[in-house]
Copies of this chain bind each other. A is one copy, B any other.
Amino acid sequence: MNQDGHFFLRCPFFVSVMGQASSAGCNVENAKKQKINSIVLVLFVGCLLLGGRKTPLVADTLPVAPGGPFSRVYLPQNAPVGEDRFFGPSSWEQMNENPEHNAAFHQKAGGPSWFYDGVGWRFAEARAWPLEEKNPFGTRTDGKIEAAAVQTQFYGNALGVSVVDGIVYAESDDMFAYALNARTGQLIWRTSPVGNHLMGNPIVKGRFVYLSAGGVGFNFANVVRYRKTGFAVRGMDVSYNGIYALDRKTGHVLWHHGSLGEAMPTPAVHKNVLFFATGSGSVHALDRRTGRSLWTTRLKGNDNMSSPAYSSGRIFLAMAIPPRLYSLDARTGKVLWSRSIRGAANTGMGDVSPAVSRGVVVMDTVTRPERKGKEVTLQPVIVAFDAKTGKVLWEKKMRRGPRPPAFKGGVPMIAGHVVYVGSPVNGDYEARDLFTGKRIWRWSRMSSSRSAPTLVDGRLFIAGEDHVYVLDPETGKELSKRKVGGRMGIISPTIVGGTVYLANSWDWIVAMPLSLWNIRTAQ
């Protein structure tokens, strides 16, 4: 029932790798290139012997019409040149780049001035809705709250962007992935290899960028199954799900690996292994160079948006229905420990990506629904676990509030000895001591807070609703704010040098210089 299949060792893959590796301008070093070519040649000959038929390129084996609207666009003239190629980190290995979820990066001194001064631009993705529009497109039919969830889940960006070597990578629920020049905002490539929603924060390592495909829907067979058994595979037979590995330079598909359930969570990469979790409750480890399966662990429930955090040889992620946090051995997939949170309700746990730092795992969820008339309220709780043993270190309640649509948690971020968590039910934002759970401050400005903030140079940046706010991380005092427009649900600001990079439910990628907030940072 929970079987996730895979796509591997098809001849076209190897032909494609060879075609790419031997093409001009390949970013694989020469030694590696020769080795790959030798391996590929052997496998290619094997393929011919086994298959004996003309083997098309991988691109030809995708359901994408050449020259049609979904075919890849590649504009190498827009790629960064010179020093611009050394902007930002050189890989992006998990959601928000690290298990703390703090997507902040300094630039070493010596680069061009835009590194520090910042840049500003806006890029309209395929289903862009004017950022000035207060209401989402479907408001008249669905009401503003539900229409905003639809616009996020079917038209815009769910998570923030990745910035690697001067390029901004974004995945959108408009079914496209994008690579933009971080300085100019110009399109380098765009591709839609699968007719499905791309909810992830792109993972980038070596020559690859990894996309995760999957949407929020259920097919009717799983609606019936849920009634009978209390279990349903999310994403099963509602489009094709799984991981797509692209050449980060060109957007060309190098391999893909299908899964039965949705692959909405962002994968994590460590060395040559890629980890991802699905709507069928399975967790997979693949060889990230080939897509070959290394291990699969079948857990119970659905992983919606709980992206695995990799830390010290373990991965941490949570499932919904039933709600449970897991720690797995990254080498074997063995479950080392698992814990639920008392009263966890709805999809809360399967939505939230745990943050890990200094041997502590922080998780939160909504709990204990209470109905008063038509209104249902929920109680968010934050729990810290010992990363090694799963022992509960502390558990704290946040204030109760009305049930939000869609994503039901706040993505925690850890910096130093402090954890920052937003509340989806009433917009409270809290800073707590990582080791004791003691509340340091609370900030209440929005009606719903779900995204991880970003801490840079003594300033805390929070993207929520249509603004980016800057707080003093010590006191929670609001120092500045700036309107972006549209809506940012669980978008974390990605801050590199002097620029804040954002994605948006209204299907935009936006760069804004730090100077716009009129706050002084101690860079």
Contact = CB atoms under 8 A, between A and B. Distances in A.
A216 interface: yes
A142 B221 CA distance: 14
A65 interface: yes
Q: Which 6 A-B pairs have the closest CB atoms?
A: A217-B217, A141-B258, A5-B141, A65-B128, A69-B69, A65-B124
A13 to B, nearest CB: 12
Contacts of A130: 60
A227 interface: yes
Contact of A7 (B141, B192, B196, B224): B141
A65 B125 contact: yes
Interface stretch (A103-111, A233-241, A380-388): A233-241
A138 interface: yes
Given A64-B127, A226-B223, A260 B70 contact: no
Number of copies: 2
B237 A140 contact: no
Interface in A453-469: none
A255 to B, nearest CB: 12
Interface in A1-21: 4-7
B258 A68 contact: no
Contacts of A244: none
B238 A232 contact: no
9 contacts: A6-B141, A63-B507, A68-B124, A68-B128, A140-B258, A150-B239, A154-B238, A215-B238, A218-B218
State the main secondary structure of chain A at its contact with B: loop
A395 interface: no
Interface in A170-226: 174-176, 190, 192, 195-196, 215-220, 222-224, 226
Nearest to A62: B137
A154 B239 contact: yes
A259 B150 CA distance: 13
A129 interface: yes
A9 B127 CA distance: 24
A329 interface: no
Interface of A: 4-7, 60-66, 68-70, 124-130, 137-138, 140-142, 146-147, 149-151, 153-155, 174-176, 190, 192, 195-196, 215-220, 222-224, 226-227, 232, 234, 237-242, 258-260, 347, 405, 506-507
A44 to B, nearest CB: 20
Contact of A218 (B62, B146, B220, B240): B220
B68 A140 contact: no
A63 B219 contact: no
A140 B6 contact: yes
A261 B138 CA distance: 13
Contacts of A142: 5, 237, 240, 258, 260
Contacts of A137: 61-63, 240
Contacts of A192: 69
Contacts of A176: 69
Contacts of A146: 237
Given A142-B258, A218-B219, 14 more contacts: A7-B141, A63-B137, A63-B155, A65-B124, A68-B128, A69-B69, A69-B126, A150-B237, A217-B238, A220-B347, A222-B223, A223-B232, A226-B227, A227-B227
Contacts of A147: 240
Contacts of A155: 63, 195
A4 B140 CA distance: 10
A187 to B, nearest CB: 10
A236 B495 CA distance: 36
B65 A141 contact: no
Nearest to A240: B138
Nearest to A194: B137
Contacts of A259: 141
B63 A151 contact: yes
